[in-house]
Amino acid sequence: MTIRKAIRVERSPEVVFRVFTQEIGKWWPLKEGFSFGGEKAKDIFIEGRVGGRFFERFTDGTEFEVGRITAFRPPHVVAFTWKAPEWEAQTEVEVKFAPDGTGTRVEVEHRGWEAGPIMQKQGQGYSDGWGIILERFTAIAAAAA
């Protein structure tokens, strides 16, 4: 199974890419349950280079590495691995940013769910989750300068 989602933001690819990667802490819905830290949710980061970390920092200062950056080509592509603690293997998320008229088309592909029964079971929830995450992202990115 591969999760695929697409949105359009009325901003340039450069702005949309920057908001997605450098300003992820402003729009990712950590406090709405999209955190591995639960009540300790505080911030989330994408280190802007191949090999960089995609990670959360909790209120107690501890960190959880969700994955590693596997592609970083501003303003076109960012890709990273993603692994929940209970999963059998890691998945991969690829986000593409393409000019679309006066705005940008953002395509998310989250693949690798077939690696084990726990992951197969959670895949649908993640599909719904990406919808919520991208709604939140669209609202913030559309207002960015």
**Domain residue spans of the chain:** 2-142
Pick from 37, 77, 125, 91: nearest CA to 28:
37
Which numeric CATH code is attached to 2-142? Answer: 3.30.530.20
For residues 114 and 68, give the distance between their C-alpha atoms in angstroms, rounded to a whole number: 20
With beta carbons less than 8 A apart as the criterion, state whether 113 and 1 touch. yes
Helix ranges (H only) for the chain are 13-21, 24-27, 117-142
The pLDDT value given to residue 145: 80
Query: What's the CA angle centered on 78, arms 28 and 41, to 5 degrees?
Result: 25
DSSP 143: T
Structure pTM? 0.96
**Contact indicator for 95, 73 with CB cutoff of 8 Å:** no
- CA nearest to 26, candidates 126, 128, 107, 144: 144
Model confidence at 124: pLDDT above 90: no
* Residue 49: predicted pLDDT: 98
3-state helix, strand and coil shares in percent for the chain, rounded to the nearest 5: 35, 40, 30
Interval 15-38 mean pLDDT = 96
What's the whole-number mean pLDDT along residues 93-98? Answer: 98
Of the candidates 83, 56, 84, 51, the residue with the CA atom closest to the CA atom of residue 68: 51
